[in-house]
Amino acid sequence: MIGAALRRPALTVALGFLVLVTIACVGAPLWVPTDPLQQDLGAILQPPSSAHLLGTDGLGRDVLSRLASGGRVTLLGALEAVVVFLALGVPLGLLAGYHAGRFDTVTTRVAEVLLSVPAIIFLLVVVAVFPASQLATMITLGVLGTPNVFRVVRGSARAASQELYVRAAQTVGLTSGQVLRRHIAPALSGPIIVQTSLFAATAVMTDSALAFLGFSVQPPQPSWGGMIAEASAVIDADPWLLVPPGVLIALVVLALGILGDGVRDLAARSVASVERPRRRPRRAAPAAPRAPGPSAGPPALLSLHGVTVAFPAPHGEVTVVRDVALDVCEGQAVGIVGESGCGKSVVARAVLGLLPGGARLTDGSIRFDGRELAGRSERELGRVLGAHGRELARRSERELGRVRGAQIGFVPQDPIATLDPAFTVGQQLTEVVRRHRGGSRPGARARAVALLAMVDLPDPEQVVRRYPHQLSGGMAQRVGIALALAGEPKLLIADEPTTALDMTVQAEVLGLLRDLRERLGMAIVLITHDWGVLADVCDDAVVMYAGEVVEVAPVQSLFAASLHPYTRALIASNPLLARAGEPLPAIPGQVPAPGAWPAGCHFVPRCPLAVPACSGELVALGGPGGAHRTRCLRHEELAPR
Amino acid sequence: MVRFATRWLVTSLLLLLFVSAFTFVLVSLIPGDAARSILGQSGSREQYLQLRQQLGLDDALPAQYWHWLHGAVQGDVGSSITSGEPVGSMLSGRIGVTLSLVASSVVVAGGLGVALGVAGALRGGWIGRAIDVLSLAGLALPSFWLGLVLVAIFAVKLGWLPATGYTPLGDSPVDWLRSLVLPAVTMGVGCAAVIAKQTRDAMRETLAKDYIFALRARGVSERSVIYRHALKNAAIPVTTVLGLVVAGLFSATVLVEQVFALPGLGSLAVQATADHDLPVIEALVLFFTAMVTTVNLLVDLAYVRLNPKVRAA
């Protein structure tokens, strides 16, 4: 830990500064140029010079000498307070945390009360009672500060005492004292150091404040706060005198703060580095043969072409989705299937123009109802095209704003987490209705109730008044669908809309989606990993694997005659389709992470049919033609004869 | 709601009892004799005996406390030793100054803090760095020092604002405001940094939530997403910090009123301490503690108001 500390310059500087100030102040009598009390009325209020490095005060005393001598008092006071703080807070915290029960209840309660005591005013009582006793005020300050360290120590001790190795140590027969000393205390040193340095800063500040008010050492003895008070008396004549004591206090407090933050960061890092090894991402995949453009047929409502998305990574970017093509006609239902982590949701977010933090569309086009939605970021286009590019980007963002919610509705995965917990269902629905259809508040409210009735929610008048946490999962998802319908969209994108729900509720929600599609003539893009859901709702299916579309076909063709080994394996591992008595086949291995995709076909490492040619170049989406396309080199061997 | 109110009342009363009792014990700890210690060596024997009687030192400690408590419940917290004035009227004459100061500081701290915090969450960049610098400064610069520096610049050098003194609101609203600007900024800036930091973190956390993404996907305007939805949710942790800040502001009046010569309760506390005027200090300790518990109550109420989950429970 010390080695790591030395590698952090801010921490080292702060520590060095504190050591330096302490040595300089404690050793002040040995080195200060002049006696801090020695007046020289012939040389008052002098600016800094070689004789007086920080100038002289209103009585001609050397500021540097007074600063160093005054520091002894302040630092001693802070030390007294810190000793009390630790001597009281740490043992009490350990006991309270380690032995739950009445002692814990009482001490915790007292700590809460102490936290509510206004410290400065309470210290003034002590000053009034024990005039000019720095020891008394600093002991009181230490007591008042105790809850801070008490709470941290108690919390850590409580957590540590639940750890298995501590339990084991108890079982082996170690006494409480031994367990505390050997197993719990070491884990506490970090938080204690943090609290101590923060409290030391408070103590320095408080001691200076009391000295400023005239309740510490009496003049002419110097103190940091007292020097500020002296400076305030001559503020018209020489404001400079404020600077040395104020800056010194600020620097000491700052150094203590940096020390605390630094130790906390070190502690956090040593934990994090154990838990999370850094993975080195690969460079983005090289350009590859593109899938052919949209096939002939009715004009598509939504048409994705060559869509490629990259996420920021420690070194450059990592491509998570590449060359995605997808066509959805009016009124059509298309499913996107694949295991978790294949990039299904990323595609949905790309269509909505709502990629998560830092991710961007690096290539491809997204056309909806004849309009291009694939916007590049303002900054990116601005860099390449200047003002014209920025204008283009803004136009594309406006275009998206008009489409989002109004023409493309979105049903998210987790229904409760995607409702704002601070507003009622009615408030949220009304806002969306008014956003897309305008109109008065009562009108929008009536529409909200109608929407809730449309998604088969019983008693919509009552649901309108509820908060999200008062809804069941199934009700919340119906509200989510109502919200998506508020703008009367032509296309509904549903991202695993039933995954978070119970089986029976799943069937109801799917039925509702099918029903709505028929009634409203909406197109649907349904993201799922469930073949049953897919077969239930969708006409066509797009199978994704490791960021790529690997197969596109009508759902019936996929089940009957898939042309990609991944699709086949996925269907085969579906428990609902398995034959009784036979073991359920599973696909060996895992989906490779973005940045760790194999060269060539992404499925090679898990593919039973892989041949050396598969690992050569990226495979393009092709196949027998028509509506059925696949990204497999050996699809002809898979085709039924 | 009734249970909530009862719990608050019980906690507050316990706190007040605890603080007052502790103060009494502390006073009894004065080495030798409180009356002698207050008068110093200069006091005459008559003065000494009279003061002993006034302080009730002839009784046993529990009796003293009971006597004081009996009066306090009836609104009589004794008289000042130095001026003989009833402590209650001394406090009520100065309370307006302190409340004005705290309220204007809350405006500075809250307004600046929330604005900077939201901007920092949305932009990062230089605003983020400004918040970091400000919060370091707010942590490290002693308020009484900052106040003097502001006086040196804006009152002495530029002459824009009065250096010291207070004009009651009734006399002249403009001068009232002018007399509060520097003290309020002195107290507010450091707190603004604390609030800005909390607001920024809370906003960042909220903006990463699923429901924010869902709101955008539903086409809700960016302005509504940030200022209606995200800010309301982020306000929940911010109110807690605001409560701590306001409690701290009451303590800070002790120093800042002294710097700007404002005739409030803080400067009264300093004066009373210097004079060893125990009845006044005891009353002030109680008053400040009561203020802290009141602020806690307000924070709890705001918390309930903002957080429907708590409201239902």
Nearest to B219 among A126, A212, A404 (CB): A404
CATH number where A169 lies? 1.10.3720.10
Of B198, B49, B288, B212, which Cα lies nearest the Cα of A417? B212
**Res B268: pLDDT:** 92
How near does any CA of chain A get to the CA of B199, in Å? 17
Q: Do A404 and B218 touch (CB under 8 A)?
A: yes
Alpha-carbon distance B227 to nearest alpha carbon in chain A (angstroms): 13
Lowest mean pLDDT among A35-44, A270-279, A314-323: A270-279
- Residues of A with CB below 8 A from B291's CB? 118
- 8 Å CB contact of A405 and B250: no
Return the residue in B273, B295, B297 with the most chain A beta carbons within 10 A, the one to mutate for interface testing.
Answer: B273
Looking at residues B137-161, what average pLDDT do you find?
Answer: 84
Alpha-carbon gap, residue A512 to A481, rounded angstroms: 9
Which has more pLDDT, B275 or A196?
Answer: A196
pLDDT score of A82: 94
Task: Lowest mean pLDDT of A144-153, A448-457, B118-127, B295-304, name the range.
Answer: B118-127
Is residue A85, in this structure, part of any structural domain at all?
A: yes
Find how far residue B265's CA is from the centre of its chain. Answer: 11
- Is the pLDDT at B251 greater than 50? The verdict is yes
More confident residue, B254 or A156: B254
Phi, psi dihedrals of residue A549, rounded to the nearest 5°: -80, 120
Of residues B27, B139, B210, nearest to A129 (C-beta): B27
pLDDT at A8: 73
Residues of A in contact with B304 (CB under 8 A): none
Would you call A549 helix, strand, or coil by DSSP? strand
Name A184's Cβ contacts closer than 8 Å, sequence gap at least 6: A94, A98, A156, A157, A160, A161, A166
Q: Which long-range contacts (CB under 8 A, 24 or more apart) does B144-147 make?
A: B144/A209, B144/A212, B144/A225, B144/A228, B144/B255, B144/B256, B144/B258, B144/B259, B145/A228, B145/A242, B145/A245, B145/A246, B145/A249, B145/A250, B146/B186, B146/B189, B146/B190, B147/B182, B147/B183, B147/B186, B147/B255, B147/B256, B147/B259, B147/B260
Q: How many CB atoms within 10 Å of residue A223?
A: 29
Residue B7 has φ and ψ, to the nearest 5°, of: -60, -40
- Chain B residues in contact with A236 by the CB 8 A cut-off are 156
Instruction: Report percent pLDDT > 70 for chain A.
Output: 86
Q: Which residues does chain A have within 8 Å of residue B221's beta carbon, measured at their own beta carbons? A: 401, 435
Q: Give B177 to chain A, closest Cα distance, Å.
A: 23
Nearest beta carbon to residue A113 from set B15, B142, B259: B15
Q: How many CA atoms lie within 13 A of A364 on its CB side?
A: 30
Query: What gap in Å lies between CA B288 and CA B301, rounded to an integer?
Result: 20
Which phi and psi (to 5°) does residue A336 adopt?
-115, 120
Residues paired with A326 in a beta bridge: A304
From the list B208, B218, B272, which residue is nearest A410 (CB)?
A: B218
Which residues of chain A neighbour B219 with C-beta distances below 8 Å?
401, 404-406, 432, 435-436, 487
User: A335: burial class by Cβ within 10 Å (0-12, 13-18, 19+)?
Assistant: buried
What pLDDT does residue A275 have? 38
Find, in chain A, the residue whose alpha carbon is nearest to that of B151.
Answer: A235
B50 touching A, CB under 8 A?
no
Which residue of B224, B250, B255 is in closest CB contact with A209?
Answer: B255
Q: Show residues of chain A in contact with B224, CB under 8 Å.
A: 431, 435
> Cβ B233–A422 below 8 Å, yes or no?
yes
Question: How many Cβ atoms from other residues are within 10 Å of residue A577's Cβ?
Answer: 13
Q: Which residue(s) pair with A542 in the sheet?
A: A336, A552
Chain A residues touching residue B39 (CB < 8 angstroms): none
Number of domains chain A contains = 1
Domain that holds residue A120: 54-271
The residue of chain B nearest to residue A206, with distances taken between CA atoms, is B142
Q: What is the topology classification, in CATH, of domain B90-274?
A: MetI-like fold (1.10.3720)
Of A116, A120, A484, the CB nearest to B218: A484
Token pair belonging to B118: 């939201």
**Of residues B79 and A208, more confidently modeled:** A208
- Provide the shortest C-alpha distance from residue A244 to chain B (in Å): 11
CB pairs under 8 A between A and B: 208
- A273-321, pLDDT tens digit by residue? 443 333 434 344 444 444 444 444 567 889 888 888 888 888 888 888 9
Q: CB-CB: which of A113, A118, A435 is closest to B221?
A: A435
pLDDT higher than threshold 90 for residue B103: yes
Cα(B78)–Cα(B75) distance, rounded to whole angstroms? 9
Lowest-confidence segment of B131-135, B262-266, B270-274 by average pLDDT: B131-135
Distance CA B285, CA B289 (A): 6
User: CA of A129 to nearest chain B CA: how many angstroms apart?
Assistant: 6
User: Which residues lie below 8 Å from residue A108, measured CB to CB, with a gap of 6+?
Assistant: A96, A154
Of the given ranges (A77-81, A184-188, A486-490, A553-557), which has the lowest mean pLDDT? A184-188
pLDDT band for position A340 (50/70/90)? confident
**Average confidence (pLDDT) over A111-120:** 81
Contact B250 A118 (CB under 8 A): yes
d(CA A556, CA A539): 8
On the question of pLDDT at B82 being above 50, the answer is yes
A274 vs A377 pLDDT, higher one: A377
Contacts of B258 in chain A (CB under 8 A): 212-213
First to last CA, chain B: 10
Q: At A568, give phi and psi (nearest 5°).
A: -60, -45
Q: Do B145 and A228 touch (CB under 8 A)?
A: yes
Q: Does residue B261 belong to the interface with chain A, where contact is any CB pair within 8 Å?
A: no
A 10 A CB-CB count for B113 gives 31
Does residue B90 contact residue B280 with C-beta atoms inside 8 Å?
yes
Gap from A33 CA to chain B (nearest CA, Å): 26
Query: Is pLDDT above 60 for A376?
Result: no
Digit-coded pLDDT (tens) for B187-218? 998 888 888 888 888 898 888 888 998 898 88
- For chain B, which residues make up each domain, given as ranges? 2-73, 90-274
Please list, residue by residue across A517-539, b when 16 or more beta carbons sit within 10 angstroms of its beta carbon and e when fewer do.
Answer: beeeebbbbbbbbbbebbbbbbb
The two counts, helices (H) then strands (E), for chain B are 14, 0
Q: How far apart are CA A159 and CA A522, in angstroms?
A: 53
Interface of B with A in 191-220 (CB under 8 A): 208-211, 213-220
Order of strands, sheet of A360-368, starting from the edge strand that comes earlier in the sequence: A317-328, A302-312, A360-368, A371-372
Q: What does pLDDT average to over chain A?
A: 81
pLDDT, tens digit, for every residue of A218-259? 777 888 888 888 888 887 778 888 888 889 999 999 898 888
A382-414 pLDDT, tens digit per residue, is 555 566 666 666 666 767 777 888 888 899 888
Tell me which chain B residues have a C-beta less than 8 angstroms from the C-beta of A409. 218
Which ipTM score applies to this complex? 0.83
Amino acid in the structure at residue A594: P
Handedness of CA A202, A203, A208, A213 (dihedral sign): positive
> How many alpha carbons lie under 13 Å from residue A273 in its C-beta half-sphere?
7
Task: Find, in chain A, the residue whose alpha carbon is nearest to that of B155.
Answer: A236
Distance set, CA A143 to CA A138, A140, A148, A203, B14 (Å)? 9, 5, 10, 12, 19
Q: How far apart are CA A367 and CA B54, in angstroms?
A: 89
In a domain, residue A183? The reply is yes
What span, in angstroms and rounded, lies between the C-alpha atoms of A157 and A437? 57
- Identify which of B26, B259, B308 has the shortest CB distance to residue A469: B308
Would A15 be classed as within a structural domain? no
User: How much is the pLDDT for A284?
Assistant: 41
Higher pLDDT, A221 or B31: A221
Contacts of A214 in chain B (CB under 8 A): 274
C-alpha B94/C-alpha B272 separation (Å) is 14
- Contact of B229 with chain A, judged by CB distance below 8 Å, is answered with yes
B156/B200 Cα distance (integer angstroms): 36
pLDDT in tens, A587-611: 778 888 888 888 888 888 888 888 8
The 3-class secondary structure across A431-488, one letter per residue, is HHHHHHHCCCHHHHHHHHHHHHHHCCCCCHHHHCCCCHHHCCHHHHHHHHHHHHHCCC
Nearest to B232 among A122, A422, A424 (CB): A422
Helix (H) or strand (E) segment spanning residue A85: helix A63-98
> By CA distance, what is B291's nearest residue in A?
A118
Q: Look at B136 and A484 and tell me if their CB atoms are within 8 Å.
A: no
Provide the pLDDT confidence category of residue A523 given band limits of 50, 70 and 90.
Answer: very high
Rounded Cα gap, residues A515 and B97, in angstroms? 68
Instruction: Tell me if A209 and B144 make a contact (CB, 8 A cut-off).
Output: yes
Report pLDDT digits (tens) over A100-109. Answer: 788 888 888 8
Interchain CB contact of B142 with A (< 8 Å): yes
On whether the CB atoms of residues A237 and B154 are closer than 8 A, the answer is: no
Distance CA B223, CA B234 (A): 15
HSE-CB at A229 with a 13 A cutoff on CA atoms is: 22
The residue type found at A555 is V
What is the arithmetic mean of pLDDT over B8-31?
Answer: 79
* pLDDT at position B61 over 90: no
pLDDT of residue B108: 93
| H or E stretch covering A224 | helix A224-233
Which residues, 6+ apart, have CB-to-CB distance to A462 below 8 Å? none
Report B:175-194 residues touching A (Cβ under 8 A).
none
pLDDT of amino acid A285: 41
* pLDDT class of A335 with cuts at 50, 70, 90: very high
- Between chains, do B148 and A235 touch, taking CB under 8 Å as contact? yes
Q: Is residue A555 part of a domain?
A: no
- Residue B263's pLDDT is 92
